[in-house]
């Protein structure tokens, strides 16, 4: 009887282990689904790049995390995504820190410090090795968000109805700008800044609400159709290439297993480099067919760029007085720039 009893107990133990294993496997494979609103519309490379990121994350996590990337305005307006993530209306956003300068002026230099960098990879170095990402995370943490990572693309171009050969051509120009310091700098050069979301630029150019736009990269502007409307563009604008962020509700981030957190952070680094290379290649392609599409291309002289930086630094120092975060961010930028011999 004891042998039979032991055999039955052993069998029961094996069955329990098997059931436990199946239960663990079921828990391990439980799917987490996020809805993330982006700041872009389908049809441009930036939107497609984060859709591809979501597909890679789903594959690499074995299907445990699915991310639905939503286009701009799908749930709320761009300037409302931070609050919608904080309260859980959506799980995350892909946006620009500078959009939230109204919450704290320090968000503006986190998203873009106009006139700061001479090369887009210097921006990457600042973000990942100069303390930039830590500051972005610190700022968003006060709002209940965690920043997975940041991205950038190419130098911005300025599509325009008129030729922009130098600063005199900006006087009286109705110019779309993002909020923050960039708007103040353009105003110093005589432009009439009109702050609006990037998604409204095409319509505003088409209707004549604006004469020109401090918009995206040359290739981005081409993709969204700006050069179907206007036939002049300033390239390599001294307005530094902006930073976008992928941030999620802090509680949702904390719920993720550590390996999926690592997958997300690694993929954000990869997409940053890929976006830069795609933008560089895209800009080159547009330049090659500029004559074909009737696009007149202009670049500022070294003297004009130096004048822009001089004004920009004055604006930085004024902006630093707006909040403790603004001062901390700008001083961190300046320390990094001085260490690189750029300031």
List the pLDDT tens digit at each of the 343 positions of the chain. 444 344 333 343 443 333 444 333 434 468 999 999 999 989 888 899 999 999 999 999 999 999 999 999 999 999 999 999 999 999 999 999 999 999 999 999 999 999 998 888 899 999 999 999 999 999 999 999 999 999 987 788 999 999 999 999 999 999 998 778 988 999 999 999 998 888 899 999 999 999 999 888 899 899 889 999 999 999 988 876 789 999 999 999 999 999 999 999 999 999 999 999 988 999 999 999 999 999 999 999 999 999 999 999 999 999 999 999 999 999 999 999 999 998 8
Residue 27 confidence (pLDDT): 42
pLDDT of residue 228: 95
Note whether 218 and 302 are same-domain residues. Answer: yes
Q: How many domains does the chain have?
A: 2
258 shares a domain with 129: yes
Does residue 133 belong to any structural domain of this protein? yes
pLDDT the model gives residue 329:
98
Examine residue 23 and state whether it is found in any structural domain, yes or no.
no
Task: Evaluate whether residue 268 is within a structural domain.
Answer: yes
86 exposure class (CB count in 10 Å sphere: 0-12, 13-18, 19+): middle
Q: Is residue 17 part of a domain?
A: no
* 261 and 235 share one domain: no
Report the alpha-carbon distance of residue 300 to residue 234 in Å, rounded. Answer: 8
Q: In the prediction, which pLDDT does 170 show?
A: 95
Query: Quick check: 233 and 257 in contact, CB under 8 A?
Result: no
Cα–Cα distance measured from residue 144 to residue 132, given in angstroms and rounded to the nearest whole number: 19
CB of 127 closer than 8 Å to CB of 141: no
Same domain for 267 and 195: no
Spatial contact of 186 and 320, defined as CB atoms under 8 Å apart: no
37, 95: one domain = yes
Q: Are residues 232 and 329 in the same domain?
A: yes
Residues 296 and 208 reside in one and the same domain: yes
CATH number at residue 194: 3.40.190.170
Does residue 70 share a domain with residue 94?
yes
* pLDDT for 220: 87
Phi and psi at 20, nearest 5°, equal -60, -40
Q: Based on the domain organization, do 144 and 167 belong to the same domain?
A: no
Phi first, then psi, for residue 194 (nearest 5°) are: -125, 110
Q: 192-195 and 174-177 as β-strands: parallel, antiparallel, unpaired?
A: parallel
Residue 25 lies in a domain: no
Is 119 within the bounds of a domain?
Answer: yes
- Domain extent, residue 35, equals 31-153+242-282
Q: What is the pLDDT of residue 80?
A: 96
Does residue 94 sit in the same domain as residue 193?
Answer: no
Could you tell me if residue 223 is inside a domain? yes
Residues 148, 39 within the same domain: yes
Is 268 found in the same domain as 170? no
CA distance 64 to 58: 7
14 is a domain residue: no
């Amino acid at each position: 009887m004891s042998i039979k009893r032991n055999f039955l107990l052993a069998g029961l133990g094996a069955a329990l282990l098997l059931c436990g294993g199946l239960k663990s496997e079921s828990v391990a494979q439980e799917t987490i689904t996020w809805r993330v609103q982006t700041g872009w519309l389908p049809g441009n490379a930036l939107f497609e790049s984060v859709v591809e990121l979501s597909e890679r994350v789903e594959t690499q996590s074995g299907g445990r995390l699915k991310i639905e990337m939503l286009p701009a305005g799908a749930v709320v307006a761009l300037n409302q995504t931070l609050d919608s993530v904080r309260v859980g209306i959506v799980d995350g956003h892909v946006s620009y820190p500078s959009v939230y300068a109204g919450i704290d002026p320090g968000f503006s230099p986190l998203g873009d410090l106009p006139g700061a960098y001479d090369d887009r990879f210097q921006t990457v170095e600042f973000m990942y090795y100069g303390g930039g990402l830590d500051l972005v995370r610190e700022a968003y943490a006060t709002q209940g968000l965690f920043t997975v990572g940041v991205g950038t693309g190419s130098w911005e171009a300025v599509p325009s109805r008129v030729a922009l050969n130098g600063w005199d051509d900006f006087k009286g120009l109705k110019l779309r700008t993002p909020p923050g310091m960039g708007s103040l700098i353009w105003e110093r050069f005589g432009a009439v800044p009109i702050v609006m979301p990037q998604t409204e630029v095409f319509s505003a150019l088409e209707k004549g609400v604006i004469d020109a736009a401090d918009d995206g990269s040359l290739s981005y502007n081409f993709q969204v159709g700006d050069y179907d409307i206007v036939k002049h563009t300033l390239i390599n604008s001294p307005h530094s290439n902006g930073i976008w962020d992928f941030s999620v509700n802090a509680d949702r981030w904390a719920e993720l297993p550590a390996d999926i957190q690592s997958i997300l952070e690694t993929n954000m680094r990869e997409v940053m480099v890929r976006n830069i290379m795609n933008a560089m290649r895209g800009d080159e392609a547009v330049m090659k067919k500029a004559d074909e599409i009737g696009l007149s291309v202009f670049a500022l002289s070294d003297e004009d760029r130096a004048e822009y930086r001089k004004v920009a630094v004055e604006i930085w120092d004024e902006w630093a007085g707006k909040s403790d975060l603004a001062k901390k961010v700008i001083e961190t930028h300046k320390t990094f720039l001085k260490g690189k011999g750029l300031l």
